Structure 1
Amino acid sequence: MRKLILAAGLISMLSACGGGGGLFNRSRPDEFAVSRQAPLVIPPDFALVPPAPGTPAAASVDSSKAAMEAMFGGPAARSPGESATLSAAGRANAAAGIRSSVGDPATEVVDKGATTRDIIAAPEGDGQDARAATPQ
């Protein structure tokens, strides 16, 4: 009886190894189908000259300028309405370096009052709960 149980166990263990083809029946790449390609060859260009020492690289691009040109299409002429508005606002009277001196600590600032501070410090929102009041 022991031999029969041992033989049945051995047959059941060996039958589990027979399914699926095992090691020799799987799909794998064909190593003989791979071929070598010729290396890339860059043709000589005799018109190119090496950059002079100290000159900026030709490939360097100002990313902020490229982004502005991509968004707004480069410099465009002002419309007559825009020119009239700028002239009425005093474009001719503006100081040339005003943008450089605005952040200077010695710049005189006019106090606009608590209302302006409240507007600037107001929380962000969609304006649905906004209320307006006129001082009397």
Structure 2
Amino acid sequence: MRKFVGAALAASAVLLAGCASNGLNRDRPDEFAVARQPSLIIPPDFALVPPTPGAARVQSAGAAQAQTLEALFGSAPRSASETAALQAAGEDSADAGIRSSVGDPQTNVVDKGQTTRDIIAAPEGDGQDARANAPK
């Protein structure tokens, strides 16, 4: 009787293994049925007309600069604290072309001395041989 019960349990286990209701999902994707997606192609815009030679530009340089600033920084008004900080820093007295005049030979600069030049001209290293000399 024990052999019969054992054989019946083994047979039922084998039969249940083939059923889909045991929690095992037999529906798997077919790895050979994969298709590549076509690359994205921008269709031509037939409404565009090439510019005529000698005609005025549609956008001026100032408009492009304004659009760039608008895209980067937005058009939100400045807060009261930001306005006060800018006024305290001298917003009205700042030279608009300061970046152009910095490299001018007539610009006065401060000589930082030989130590700064030595630091800048020092070869790059990993710091293993670095030493500090403290004055006594």
TM-score band, normalised by the shorter chain? 0.3 to 0.5
Q: TM-score of the superposition, structure 1-length normalised?
A: 0.36
Q: TM-score of the superposition, structure 2-length normalised?
A: 0.36
Q: Which has the higher helix share?
A: 2
